[in-house]
Amino acid sequence: MDIPVTDNVLTKVKGKVIVLTGGAQGIGGTLVKTSYTAGAHLFVGDWDAEKGEALAASLRADKEASANGGSVTFLRVDVTNYKSQLALFEAAIAAHGHIDTAVPFAAAGEPRGFFEPDALTIESLQQEPTAIRDRLELNVLSVVYFCRIALAYMRNPSPEAAQRAFDAKEPMPRSIVLMSSLAGIGENPGVPIYNASKHAITGLLRSFAPYTPTRYNVRVNAMCPSATNTRMIDSITGAWVAAGLPLNEPEDVVRFILLCATDEHRNGNAVYISGGKGVDIEEGYLRTMPQWMGEQHTTELAAKRVFSGLGDGWV
Ligand SMILES: NC(=O)c1ccc[n+]([C@@H]2O[C@H](COP(=O)([O-])OP(=O)(O)OC[C@H]3O[C@@H](n4cnc5c(N)ncnc54)[C@H](O)[C@@H]3O)[C@@H](O)[C@H]2O)c1
């Protein structure tokens, strides 16, 4: 069932401290513009300093966009450099003492030339395909590092107090919104490395969703957008639209990000977004499990989950 969302969600962003990477353009850049205009305080990291600085300067110079008291700090960040990401969070903490929302946008598409029939030859094996490792470092490792830093700054310092707050169903203002993809929930035969990296992000969501709210009072949700009109998909946008397939605008994705960020009870959603509409894949995945896995496997899996608990006892 579609998740209802409107631009009203922007009214909840005023005064929030948001840390994000990959915010110089694309979906992240759109979140910077809309949230700044709504009065949020943004800490934006991107390795494209020219675009990032230009975006920040244009917002500060825009009287109308600045009317709600928003602020934006841009830092040149290479997310594959741990200290570089850390500096972004430290800047937000130094200025505001806390962080409300953290979104790791920075990623890139498929590194070509490794699995295509012409490229996959015995001769090619002599060369280590380091571009694959680099892409996994960008799309997966940098996000894991980002989340670890974010959780350390956003957590309730006491796990016991966090558990009590969770049990009492208290609202949780702090959250991470992960960027998975359509490629994180299904097949994409032509882009195996990107697909594996986005499935990793969905895996991160599934691991964090039962854990970080109870231990740290930090919620985690993920976006799984289908094709979204940014430069990342420039090479296919025309053909996609010509085929009659629904295209998201970056604003569509931003609306669901901000909904997940500001709805203080929303956790564990993996929001598939297509043509501006969003549906929670995780809800359907869990609800229909007996239909596709069978009753016995579903019951046993539930028992295994109870046995495993939060996994704290594992060696
Ligand atoms: N556009 C789509 O169709 C689509 C669909 C599903 C998911 N996504 C995901 O949404 C997120 C944003 O995608 P987008 O379409 O806005 O992409 P984009 O290419 O427009 O923006 C990505 C940003 O990340 C930055 N970046 C790349 N490598 C970096 C690094 N090492 N350090 C710091 N910054 C770096 C780029 O400079 C750029 O500003 C990505 O995680 C992407 O996988 C996009």
The beta strand positions in 180-311, using DSSP E, are 219-225, 270-274, 277-280
Q: What's the start-to-end Cα distance of the chain, in Å?
A: 39
Higher pLDDT, 72 or 188: 72
Cβ of 181 closer than 6 Å to ligand 1, yes or no, is yes
Residue 312 in tokens: 């704290």
DSSP character for 116? S
Q: How many domains does the chain have?
A: 1
Per-chain mean pLDDT for the chain: 96
Q: Is the CB of 166 under 6 A from ligand 1?
A: no
Q: CA 4, 107, 230 angle in degrees (round to 5)?
A: 60
Domain that holds residue 196: 7-308
pLDDT tens column, 89-137:
999 999 999 999 999 999 999 999 999 999 999 999 999 999 999 999 9
- Whether residue 296 is contained in a domain is answered as yes
- Over residues 63-84, the pLDDT tens digits come to 999 999 999 999 999 999 999 9
User: For residue range 30-50, what is the model confidence (pLDDT) as tens digits?
Assistant: 999 999 999 999 999 999 999
For ligand 1, the distance from its centroid to the CA atom of residue 104, given in whole angstroms, is: 9
Calculate the CA 30 to chain-centre distance: 14
User: What residue type is 171 in one-letter code?
Assistant: P
CB 228 near ligand 1, within 6 Å: yes
What is the average per-residue pLDDT within 238-243? 96
Domain assignment present for 315: no
User: What is the pLDDT averaged over residues 272-283?
Assistant: 97
Amino acid letter for position 58: S
Does residue 300 sit within a domain? yes
With a 6 Å cutoff on the Cβ, whether 106 touches ligand 1 is yes
Give phi and psi for 201, each to the nearest 5.
Answer: -70, -40
pTM: 0.98
Helices and strands per DSSP (H, E), number in the chain: 13, 8
| Distance from Cα 21 to the centre of ligand 1, integer Å | 9
Question: What is the rounded distance in angstroms from the CA atom of residue 169 to the CA atom of residue 147?
Answer: 23
* 165 part of a folded domain: yes
Cβ atoms within 10 Å of 87's Cβ, excluding its own: 14
Please check whether residue 11 lies inside any domain of the structure. yes
Best substitution site from 230, 236, 249, 281 to test ligand 1's pocket, by max atoms within 8 Å of Cβ?
A: 230
Residue 1 maps to a domain = no
Ligand 1 pocket mutation, candidates 32, 195, 232, criterion most atoms within 8 A of CB? 232
Is 157 part of any domain?
A: yes
φ, ψ (nearest 5 deg) of residue 101: -140, 140
- Cross-strand partners of 220: 176
Does a structural domain hold residue 215? yes
Ligand 1, closest atom to CA 23?
39
Residue 164 belongs to domain with CATH number: 3.40.50.720
**Nearest C-alpha neighbor of 15 from the set 35, 45, 30:** 35
